[in-house]
Amino acid sequence: MYLTDEKVAVMGAAGAIGSNLTQTLLASGTASQVAMYDPYGPGLEGAAEEVYHCGFPNVDVTWSTDVGEVLTDVSYIISSGGAPRKEGMTREDLTEANAQIAKQLGLDIKQYCPNCKFVLIIFNPADITGLTALVHSGLPPSHVSTLAALDSTRLQTALAQHFNILQSKVTGCRTYGGHGEQMAVFKGGIQIDGTPLDDTLKGQSVNRTSMSAEEWSGIQERVTGGGARIIQLRGRSSFQSPAQQSVFMLRGVLGESYDWPSGAYVSGHGFDQIMMAMPCTLSSEGASWTLPEGTEEDMNALQASYEHLVVLRNEVIEAGILPPLEEWSTVNPNLA
Amino acid sequence: MYLTDEKVAVMGAAGAIGSNLTQTLLASGTASQVAMYDPYGPGLEGAAEEVYHCGFPNVDVTWSTDVGEVLTDVSYIISSGGAPRKEGMTREDLTEANAQIAKQLGLDIKQYCPNCKFVLIIFNPADITGLTALVHSGLPPSHVSTLAALDSTRLQTALAQHFNILQSKVTGCRTYGGHGEQMAVFKGGIQIDGTPLDDTLKGQSVNRTSMSAEEWSGIQERVTGGGARIIQLRGRSSFQSPAQQSVFMLRGVLGESYDWPSGAYVSGHGFDQIMMAMPCTLSSEGASWTLPEGTEEDMNALQASYEHLVVLRNEVIEAGILPPLEEWSTVNPNLA
């Protein structure tokens, strides 16, 4: 009835993402045993009560403000447990505060559940918080990933709206690198109802619609600003789509196919000790990445996005939240 | 892949319940075609964008502030489109404003989708708003129901917490009559891991726990105040559990079993022209009710709850929002 009966921990479960995530794990038949953690007790209890009142059959949902109780015996962890992004903030503004939270999560994992199978970090800037949690957790790199799909689903959404076709008919939308303003929006591989995006840029119509270079630039801007636009429209940052895509990712780990980019620890092929969105296969082994294929322009954008992440990572090292690069393999032998 | 590909309208889709409902319909594989309506355009667009960013496969989600566009060709309607309950308010405080909204929904249904199969009203006081929508819609009474399960799931939750056992092991929790402070909490039929509640009240232990009469009274009070407690804990009224249970109800109409009470139009057997929570079977024919079975105390509580609803209904008639009782069969011949 549920894809797994093993224990799933939702960190930040009192928040908008975490409480939605808990419900969605249960409602979609993904997990039957969910442990909710949040440092804010009343909100956590309220979120748990809401879930109880849903009346899900045959589930075991618990809540606690004691992180050790929640993480003990856990197989899967999804953490939205950072400070949320407010209007006008970039994801990077949150870096230092949330990197500290990620470091503590990594240390807690090392202490309470060193054998957990998969950790998904979804609080911003996820590339940095995911990397920080990985280093301190001691886990194998394939066991820690970040939510990286939303930029791609936003690109798919924007293109479907431009051509006025169903979203599923827009395929191959992928953004790689950082999940920040410097993300790399890949053009190669995108098809609009079977027609390559490049052909529509050369004047070919789909659904009596073509696309100018300016319109494509506008769409790319909409994608990189997609999260900020949600804040403008709703007065709060995205919470449904991160929760939903996190559940899709866990379902990928549990055996379903998952086609969107995921965050992966990458070291090699011109990239060094970084976590960023890559083409990934999710399985019981976690996330395994491959190099993306794209146009020269796409690959240059990826390189630029990577370099932006390196700057952020180095700031976190300078702040003492991550150790110097050469010490990572000591802190986490799985990174050797 | 989805239980239905027919069009489902979510009214109030910019709100917390409505936006959760839209996501849950899709995430649970219940409906693939969802039309989102709300009078507040920016919030509606934001909620729709969030759903698009979820990247659900093979769905058709639309949004509009034009109620006619949303209701045309619709098969199923779920409406959370009232004003929400604030801290300190009873559900009844909302009566007149929300009854007006329900009346307009009924008139819109009559105009745009007189052949729709099922309408579920979930905004408070749901017994009154459901009744008002039914009268003005012209639909057969079995085609209009209200969400009535949350009091029962709250009772199940409170008993599971008292006995410290899994929620699913508490069975037979049912509240009937009004979904207000005057609800009838039925004791007959409740079992705690197979032991009748009555036996635990007589001293029999389950999980090394029994229950005193005072504790049972306290639990009944917690149930009737369950919604208010969520507001205290979370700073906002329940939204996840109403959305989730609404989806369970629609799944009942689409062929799954649904065991909780539902709102039904009842006229006869000592009750007259009222909508209230009853034992119901949901099917493609809508909701069909039977008389509940309970102790004498239970049945007296039901009668009291019914009488409370009669007062509320008569206030709405006096306010001119519902026609006088003798005119109902003219306004809606299906009520003859």
Q: In chain A, where are the structural domains located?
A: 4-146, 147-336
> For residue B228, what pLDDT is reported?
84
What is the rounded CA–CA span in Å between residue B52 and residue B46? Answer: 10
State how far the alpha carbon of A151 is from the alpha carbons of A173, B44, B52, B89, B305, in Å. Answer: 9, 21, 11, 41, 51
**CB < 8 Å from A in window 224-253 of B:** 226, 229-230, 232-235, 238-241, 244-245, 247-248
Is it the case that residue B157 has pLDDT exceeding 80? yes
Is the pLDDT confidence value at A91 over 70? no
pLDDT at residue A84, as a whole number:
67
DSSP A307-330: HHHHHHHHHHHHTTSS--GGGHHH
Q: Do B248 and A55 touch (CB under 8 A)?
A: yes
**Which residues are CB-neighbours of B285 under 8 A, at least 6 positions away?**
B142
Say what percent of chain A tops pLDDT 70.
98
Which residues on chain A are in Cβ contact (under 8 Å) with B166? 60
Give per-residue pLDDT as tens, B238-249. 999 999 999 999
Q: For residue B92, what pLDDT is reported? A: 66
CA–chain centroid gap for A209, Å, is: 32
Express each pLDDT in A99-134 by its tens digit.
999 999 999 999 999 999 999 999 989 999 999 999
Q: For residue A176, which phi and psi values (nearest 5 degrees)?
A: -125, 175
pLDDT digits (tens, 9 = 90+) for B198-212: 999 999 999 999 999
CATH 3.90.110.10 assigned to domain A147-336? The reply is: yes
CB contact under 8 A, B54 and A240: yes
Q: Do A157 and B240 touch (CB under 8 A)?
A: no
- Which run of H or of E encompasses B9? strand B4-11
Contacts of A179 in chain B (CB under 8 A): none
| pLDDT number for residue B78 | 98
Mean pLDDT, range A267-280, rounded to an integer: 96
Chain A residues within an 8 Å CB radius of B43: 233-235
Q: Which of A50, A234, A239 sits opposite B230 (nearest CB)?
A: A50
B245 to chain A: which residues are within 8 Å by CB?
A: 53-55
- The CATH code for residues B4-148 is 3.40.50.720
Strand partners, B286: B283
Report residue A228's pLDDT band, with 50, 70 and 90 as the boundaries.
confident
Q: What is the pLDDT of residue A14?
A: 96
Q: How far is A243 from chain B (nearest CA, A)?
A: 8
Contact state of A229 with B49 under an 8 Å Cβ cutoff: yes
pLDDT range class, residue B58, cuts 50, 70, 90: very high
Cβ–Cβ under 8 Å, residues B20 and B243: yes
Are A54 and B168 in contact (CB < 8 Å)? no
pLDDT confidence bin for B180, thresholds 50/70/90 = confident
Using DSSP, state whether A250 is helix, strand or coil.
helix
How many Å apart are CA B11 and CA B68, to the nearest integer?
A: 12
Write the pLDDT tens digit of every residue in A27-83: 999 999 999 999 999 999 999 999 999 999 999 999 999 999 999 999 999 999 877
- How close does chain A come to B26, measured CA to CA in Å? 9
Shortest CB distance from A46 goes to which of B28, B46, B234? B234
Give chain A positions within 8 Å (CB) of B29: 28
Q: Nearest-CA neighbor of B35 among B71, B4, B84, B83?
A: B71
Q: How far apart are CA B80 and CA B131, in angstroms?
A: 15
pLDDT of residue A92: 66
Averaged pLDDT score across all residues of chain B: 94
Distance CA B244, CA B20 (A): 8
Q: Report the DSSP pairing between strands B118-121 and B144-146.
A: parallel
DSSP assignment of A54-92 equals HT-TT-EEEEES-HHHHHTT-SEEEE--SPPPPTT--GG
Average pLDDT over residues B49-54: 97
Mean pLDDT of A15-33: 98
Determine how many CB atoms are found less than 10 A away from the CB of residue B316.
23
pLDDT at A224: 81
| B contacts of A47 (beta carbons < 8 Å) | 234, 240
Share of chain B above pLDDT 90, in %: 86
Indicate the pLDDT class of residue B177, thresholds 50, 70 and 90.
very high
**HSE of A51 in the Cβ direction (CA atoms, 13 Å)?**
30
Tens of pLDDT, residue by residue over B107-129, are: 999 999 999 999 999 998 999 99
- Run of H or E including A304: helix A296-318
Please check whether the domain covering B149-336 is classified as CATH 3.90.110.10. yes
CB contact under 8 A, A52 and B160: yes
Degrees, nearest 5: CA angle B127-B129-B131: 65
- Which of A23, A234, A238 has the CB atom closest to B43's CB atom? A234
Domain A4-146 = CATH 3.40.50.620: no
- Reply yes or no on whether the pLDDT at B91 is more than 90: no
ipTM of the complex: 0.95
Helical H segments across B280-325, by residue range: 296-318
User: Which residues 113-152 in chain A show a CB within 8 A of chain B?
Assistant: 149-150, 152
Mean pLDDT of chain A: 94
Q: In A, which residues are within 8 Å of B45 by CB distance?
A: 233
